[in-house]
């Protein structure tokens, strides 16, 4: 499956809420969406409240359509109170690799 759209986000949770932020992200509705090809959640080794997300989607349109849905909007609403400041986003199109858990 081809990935033509993606991003890398760095989020900082309010102090002590990193575990809750990670749990919400790992239960994100994106994970079961067929157009979401890559969805990885990681955290800083030095600061457990800093969380990283890498997403890869088949197209920008598929990503936009998904984020207009009620489940996606509900996730965003749940995440907002956990965050300390604005998340940082950078354009990233995953090209390949490996993730084994």
Q: Specify the CATH number for the domain of residue 37.
A: 3.30.70.100
Indicate whether 99 belongs to any domain.
no
Which pLDDT value is given to residue 89?
A: 94
DSSP-assigned beta bridge partners for residue 41: 53
Contact 49, 58 (CB under 8 A): no
- Give me the domain span that covers residue 81: 5-89
Q: Which residue has the tokens 């949770």?
A: 13
pLDDT per residue as tens, the chain (101 positions): 789 999 999 999 999 999 999 999 999 999 899 999 999 999 999 999 999 999 999 999 999 999 999 999 999 999 999 999 999 999 999 888 887 78
Which pLDDT value is given to residue 96?
A: 86
Total length of the chain:
101
Indicate whether 94 belongs to any domain.
no
pTM: 0.91
Which pLDDT value is given to residue 101?
A: 80
Indicate whether 13 belongs to any domain.
yes
Q: Which residue has the tokens 């919400």?
A: 24
Q: In total, how many domains does the chain have?
A: 1
């Amino acid at each position: 499956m081809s990935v033509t759209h993606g991003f890398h986000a760095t989020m900082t949770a309010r102090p002590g809420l990193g575990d809750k932020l990670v749990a919400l992200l790992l239960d994100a509705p994106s994970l079961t969406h067929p157009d979401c090809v890559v969805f990885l959640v990681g955290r800083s080794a030095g600061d457990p409240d800093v969380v990283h997300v890498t997403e890869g989607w088949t197209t920008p349109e598929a990503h936009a359509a998904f984020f207009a849905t009620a489940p996606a909007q509900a996730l965003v609403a749940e995440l907002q109170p956990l965050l300390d400041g604005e998340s940082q986003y950078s354009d990233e199109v995953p090209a390949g690799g490996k993730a084994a858990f």
